[in-house]
């Protein structure tokens, strides 16, 4: 024997009517749910910056200078190359810089 299919909209309307009747009997208004504040994500700006790097023969970076300090980088490479030590050289280096933008 088949069961009778319940109409969910009618059942929901009955439940809401019962809740409204209870609220009127209690006399106390329902509390409204507080809306949750959304958290704003801090955006980061990623950009590239150029530096001068002083490297040894095995491509290990020994020192790092700002791009406008090329003379200081070359002086450091010449100083490290003196006294029979392995040769050092200067090369451009690009590095990423992340800044938080609010």
pTM above 0.75, yes or no: no
The overall average pLDDT reported for the chain is 85
Please give the span between the terminal C-alpha atoms of the chain, in angstroms, as a whole number: 66
The pLDDT score that the predictor gives to residue 43 is 84
How far apart, in Å, are the Cα atoms of 71 and each of 49, 78, 87?
A: 18, 11, 17
Q: What are 26-50's pLDDT values in tens digits?
A: 665 667 788 888 777 778 888 999 9
Residue spans of the domains in the chain: they are 47-97
CA–CA gap between residue 77 and residue 63 (Å, rounded): 9
């Amino acid at each position: 024997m088949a069961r009778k299919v319940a109409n969910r909209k009618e059942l929901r309307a009955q439940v809401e009517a019962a809740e409204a009747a209870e609220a009127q009997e209690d006399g106390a208004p329902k509390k409204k749910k507080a809306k949750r504040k959304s958290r704003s994500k801090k955006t980061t700006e990623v950009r590239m910056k150029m530096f001068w790097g002083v490297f040894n023969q095995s491509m290990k970076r020994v020192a790092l200078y700002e791009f406008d300090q090329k003379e200081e980088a070359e002086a450091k490479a010449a100083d490290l190359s003196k006294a029979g030590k392995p040769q050092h050289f200067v090369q451009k280096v690009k590095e990423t810089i992340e800044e938080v933008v609010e």
